[in-house]
Chain A
Amino acid sequence: MNKLSVNGLNVWFGKQRDRVNAVKGATFDVAQGESFGLVGESGSGKSTILRAITGLAPNWSGKVELDGRAIGKVRPKSFFKTVQMVFQDPYASLHPRHSVDQVLGETLHLHGFRDIDARVVKLLDDVGLGQKFRFRYPHQLSGGQRQRVAIARALAPEPELLLLDEPTSALDVSVQAEILNLLADLRRDRDLTYVMVSHDLSVVGHMCDRLAVMKDGHIVEILDVDALRSMKASHPYSKQLLEASLG
């Protein structure tokens, strides 16, 4: 069964003369437990697809289904128990004056959990930070540690689908490896479904089962990771992207 199904999704910004059609007729399915990648040049509409799914891009048309049920314009609270997003920039995505404890505690409170203390402890362990980070503020954390906090926050409501927007692009490769291992472990242990945006084809190749190649708001091709690894893209643009990334 499909966890997520996107059909003929259009997303636009602005009105009339200033209208930008950022996503045009995007169609793809993501199976329960699958990890699905979105690749393409900057500005091709990858983030906008994720943002439209979570309701951060209000102007959209088409059909988006979660567990077979269509998503309306207004997302109920239960939606965010199922779907969470992790952003690229671990520096911008955490409030500078909120401690790790506050960030996680408030998120848990918002989602109606009672045993907040125990859950904060568990979340910190799950993302490999541990208790000594609990009362730190973002400026006391490295980029990788911040991204772990952002992942812990996303995990707090026990979601089933994680939307990951370039989660390691701002990190050193050594830290990227730690975060990608963490994400792989979490997916296995919690049977999570991922949609992951990256401009790095080798990251998507490592993390995903299938991927969509985007150009100018269109999905030009969907291929599986074996086709990616053996350079067997069929659309000329995906071929070009593959060749460019190999150098």
Chain B
Amino acid sequence: MMSTLLDVENLWVRFPSRNGVFDAVRGVSFTLGRERLGIVGESGSGKSMTGRAILRLIRSPGIVEADQISLDGTDLMKLSEKDMRAVRGQRISMVMQDPKFSLNPVMTIGDQIIEAYRLHSAASKAQAYAKSVEMLEAVSIRNPERVMRAYPHEMSGGMGQRIMIAMMLIPNPEILIADEPTSALDVSVQRQVLSIMDKLVKDRGMGLIFISHDLNLVADFCDRVLIMYAGRIVEVCDADKLHDAKHPYTRGLLNSLPRLDVPRDRLDVLERDPEWSVALSVSARV
């Protein structure tokens, strides 16, 4: 039996407004072991909100509710904001969907990585510099010394994403939540970033929550997949069985993809059943 790192039970993310409450995440339950857990679904299905809610990073007026979000027996829902900050820095890291917003625009990239590193270790500045360059190399950044001197706006989206991944890996977290970490990257670079994360799961026993809208990528890369629709988990399956998924929503998404090996005149268009959004969330706890 795989050990459970994180146990999320009945998670809701609600946004109250003048027109009533909008539930962005509705009763989602899952566990995470030392595995690569994929979350897929269309934009707006609640993937990012699920990831952010684990770290209690939902901005007001949004509200997070859950029976528990248990990290190694500690219920994160019950922690003070101060204790939660320690969890965020050290134990669970998140790579945000838009990395540009997560980097400080007026600080060089080098200073930011060094600062992040020294927050978690007693390393000297020189050691931290060397470690930072090494981390940038680990995420396939070709000219790390130059990048250390650069500011975030000088970086392309793909570079920014790799820099964020490098920074997130420095504290050696138990869990990494990666929100569309490779969507802005070319396939070749995408492979490199995935293999870095893969290595961390295999070598360090890290748990990875990998959020993506790319079904093929998730089928390829992850161990287990949650499929989200309208804030709910509609189906859970082993990643290598994703192409045999049963739920009509998952099937619809798969069939809408063009395929090189199966030429077709027309692509299937997803027919949405109102039932999908009212049905109960499927549990992905093991």
Interface stretch among A8-16, A60-68, A77-85, A238-246? A238-246
0/1 string, B196-228, CB within 8 A of A gives 1: 000000000000000001011100100000000
| Residues in A neighbouring B264, C-beta threshold 8 A | 206
Given A174-B270, A244-B188: A202 in contact with B259 (beta carbons within 8 A):
yes
Q: Which of A42, A173, A199, A241 has the most CB of B within 10 A?
A: A173
Distance between Cα atoms of A245 and B43 in the complex (Å): 23
Interface stretch among A17-25, A119-127, A175-183? A175-183
CB closest chain-A residue, reference B185: A42
Contact A229 B253 (CB under 8 A): no
Q: Does B42 contact A (CB under 8 A)?
A: yes
Quick one: which of B191, B258, B259 contacts A180, CB cutoff 8 A?
A: B258
0/1 string, A220-233, CB within 8 A of B gives 1: 00000000110000
0/1 string, A173-203, CB within 8 A of B gives 1: 1101110110010000000000000010111
Contact A42 B267 (CB under 8 A): no
Contact A205 B258 (CB under 8 A): yes
Given A181-B269, A244-B188, A245-B187: A202 in contact with B260 (beta carbons within 8 A):
yes
Q: Does B273 contact A (CB under 8 A)?
A: no
Q: Does B83 contact A (CB under 8 A)?
A: no
Contact B261 A181 (CB under 8 A): no
Q: Output the least CB separation between A121 and chain B (Å).
A: 24
Q: Does A72 contact B (CB under 8 A)?
A: no
Q: Does A117 contact B (CB under 8 A)?
A: no
Q: Does A172 contact B (CB under 8 A)?
A: yes
Distance between Cα atoms of A244 and B188 in the complex (Å): 6
Contact A173 B253 (CB under 8 A): yes
Contact B252 A174 (CB under 8 A): yes
Distance between Cα atoms of A71 and B134 in the complex (Å): 50
Distance between Cα atoms of A205 and B259 in the complex (Å): 8
| Residues in B neighbouring A228, C-beta threshold 8 A | 260
Q: Output the least CB separation between B83 and chain A (Å).
A: 38
| Residues in A neighbouring B142, C-beta threshold 8 A | none
| Residues in A neighbouring B158, C-beta threshold 8 A | 42
Distance between Cα atoms of A173 and B270 in the complex (Å): 9
Assuming A173-B256, A181-B269, A229-B261, what are 19 further A-B pairs, CB within 8 angstroms?
A: A41-B186, A41-B187, A143-B43, A173-B257, A174-B252, A177-B256, A177-B267, A177-B268, A177-B270, A180-B258, A180-B267, A201-B260, A202-B258, A203-B258, A205-B263, A240-B188, A244-B191, A247-B217, A247-B220
Please list the residues of chain A having a beta carbon within 8 angstroms of any beta carbon in chain B: 41-42, 143, 172-174, 176-178, 180-181, 184, 199, 201-203, 205-207, 228-229, 240-241, 244-247
Please list the residues of chain B having a beta carbon within 8 angstroms of any beta carbon in chain A: 42-43, 156, 158, 186-188, 191, 213, 215-217, 220, 252-253, 256-261, 263-270
